[in-house]
Amino acid sequence: MSEVVENPRGGCVLAGINSVLGAIDRVCPIYHAGPGCCMQSTASDQGQSGNKSSCFVSSVSIPSTNMLEREVVFGGTQKLQSTIQGAIDIIDADAYFVLTGCTAGIIGDDIESITDQFKEEGHQVYPIDTPGFAGDSNLGYEVVWNTMINQVVEEPLKKEENLVNLFGIIPYHEPFWSGNLEEISRLLKKLGLKVNTFFTEHQNMEHIRTSSQAALNIILHPWIFKGPARKFEERFAVPSIRYPGLPIGASDTKRFLLMVGEALNLDDRLVNQVIEEEDDYVYHYLAQSIGTLSWKRFAVAADAGTALGITRYLANDYSFTPVLVVITEPIFRQEDKERIIAELTNLEYARPPKVVFASDQYEINKVLMEEEDLSLIIGSSNEEEVSSLKEVQFIVAAFPIKDRLIFNRAYAGYRGSLTLIEDLYDNL
């Protein structure tokens, strides 16, 4: 239902789909949409994600049918066919995915009949018939994985006991996605695992095709990927565990590693040894810089995954007091809201903060303004203004991020937690 959303975060479902596809090596999206949909959806996620955009094709180099009045009236499948053919001729990709904008969705172009023709000729062309108005960027992440499960992932020829799939860190819609994936992957490799991140180390369509061979899906997110996880289980017998949000810092990451160890029945000694090593690494540094940061009463305004990770870390490991957490993406299922609230209520060292679900910047600003006794706000570029009005310390640590350049910076895991503290200090 139409409603007032001041300064919305992220784009429509196309933005999410485009971001995910853009992070897979040698994959080419093809927009069957209006002339502006590709640029708008690129600008909304990749354009606000720490100034990094996908390398293989992005924005101006992405094929698009640029549907005009003629296509609206007479249908756009002919233009789509020649655009796909052109894309195959001009762009040397491993796979092509056809995305549908609102226009194609409303007029009801049958894109599957077109992609089928190309499939018959042996080209890897896949339809994603989910028009822009179907949802937001987050939904785009699930839509891509549903498409992969339905059309790309193959029946497992064998099972790999030590292979895991990592889900829940959304490329570009999470500005620290590559660094976070690298850190989590580094830790899992220390446990002797092989990790499908799908988006780092030039991982590609082949990793997706064979992801059914994994022993476990690890979902690092409080609510996303429920549907795809069920399909993975039903079709390929890959079970999933969900860690609610980013693990940040020694306590949180330990909890995460123990959960993985238990799910895969890993050798306790190995898991504990890794935890001890990493613990020592972090505290070896923390011990060298005590008292550089004063104690803070903080608010977080961020997507649920980031908000949970940062709140748990600063409350449980760094003695800060959580006062307010604003979850900024729309969350539709009550069970998901409850899971998020439970995480924020069961903090080991602190009293539970006030939790607010709000996507409209007007409301977000209002709750932040009303909270009187704050000395730190952690949020997105959108919270910069309210923070400066309140004259409290502010760091940009969540999507959208306009004013930082982020390559491989990570806040997740052990090493990421040190970076978060460094950033807090830089911004005093």
The distance from CA 151 to its chain's CA centroid, rounded to whole angstroms, is 22
**Helices 137-151, 226-236: crossing angle, 10 deg rounding:** 10
Least separation, in Å, of the C-beta of 223 and another protein? 18
For the chain, the first-to-last Cα distance in angstroms comes to 42
CA proximity to 138, closest of 332, 368, 272, 391: 332
Task: Examine residue 66 and tell whether it contacts another protein (CB under 8 A).
Answer: yes
Q: Which is nearer to another protein, 67 or 215 (CB)?
A: 67
Write the interaction track for another protein spanning residues 357-396; mark x where CB under 8 A is met and - where it is not: -----x------------------xx--x-----------
Stretch that binds another protein, among 5-13, 187-195, 291-299, 338-346 (CB under 8 A): 5-13
Question: Cα separation of 380 and 57, whole Å?
Answer: 27
Q: Which of 40, 115, 316, 417 binds another protein (CB under 8 A)?
A: 40
Neighbours of 77 (CB within 10 A): 16
The distance from CA 187 to its chain's CA centroid, rounded to whole angstroms, is 19
Stretch that binds another protein, among 81-89, 164-172, 286-294, 304-312 (CB under 8 A): 81-89
Taking a C-beta distance cutoff of 8 angstroms, is the pair 267, 292 a contact? no
Q: Which of 21, 23, 24, 57 binds another protein (CB under 8 A)?
A: 57
Question: Cα separation of 323 and 340, whole Å?
Answer: 16
Task: Examine residue 50 and tell whether it contacts another protein (CB under 8 A).
Answer: no
Least separation, in Å, of the C-beta of 62 and another protein? 5
Q: Which of 19, 21, 99, 101 binds another protein (CB under 8 A)?
A: 101
Q: Which of 22, 132, 168, 247 binds another protein (CB under 8 A)?
A: 132
By CB under 8 A, the residues from 323 to 362 that bind another protein are 362
Question: Cα separation of 325 and 331, whole Å?
Answer: 15
Beta strands 194-196 and 95-100, pairing class = unpaired
Least separation, in Å, of the C-beta of 394 and another protein? 14
Contacts made by residues 67-72, CB under 8 angstroms, sequence distance 24+: 67/32, 67/33, 67/34, 67/35, 67/101, 67/103, 67/104, 68/35, 71/103, 71/107, 72/103, 72/107
Q: Which of 19, 64, 165, 311 binds another protein (CB under 8 A)?
A: 64
Question: Cα separation of 335 and 352, whole Å?
Answer: 19
Taking a C-beta distance cutoff of 8 angstroms, is the pair 80, 114 a contact? yes
Task: Examine residue 36 and tell whether it contacts another protein (CB under 8 A).
Answer: yes
Stretch that binds another protein, among 2-10, 208-216, 231-239, 271-279 (CB under 8 A): 2-10
Task: Examine residue 224 and tell whether it contacts another protein (CB under 8 A).
Answer: no
Least separation, in Å, of the C-beta of 331 and another protein? 15
By CB under 8 A, the residues from 9 to 28 that bind another protein are 9-15, 26, 28
Question: Cα separation of 126 and 122, whole Å?
Answer: 12
Q: Which is nearer to another protein, 16 or 305 (CB)?
A: 16
Least separation, in Å, of the C-beta of 230 and another protein? 23
Q: What is the CA radius of gyration of the chain?
A: 22
Stretch that binds another protein, among 126-134, 164-172, 177-185, 188-196 (CB under 8 A): 126-134
Least separation, in Å, of the C-beta of 385 and another protein? 7
Task: Examine residue 103 and tell whether it contacts another protein (CB under 8 A).
Answer: yes
Task: Examine residue 406 and tell whether it contacts another protein (CB under 8 A).
Answer: no
Please tell me whether residue 196 adopts helix, strand or coil conformation: strand
Token pair for residue 91? 């762009």
Task: Examine residue 77 and tell whether it contacts another protein (CB under 8 A).
Answer: no
Taking a C-beta distance cutoff of 8 angstroms, is the pair 88, 96 a contact? yes
| Residue carrying the six token digits 């008292």 | 291
Task: Examine residue 48 and tell whether it contacts another protein (CB under 8 A).
Answer: yes
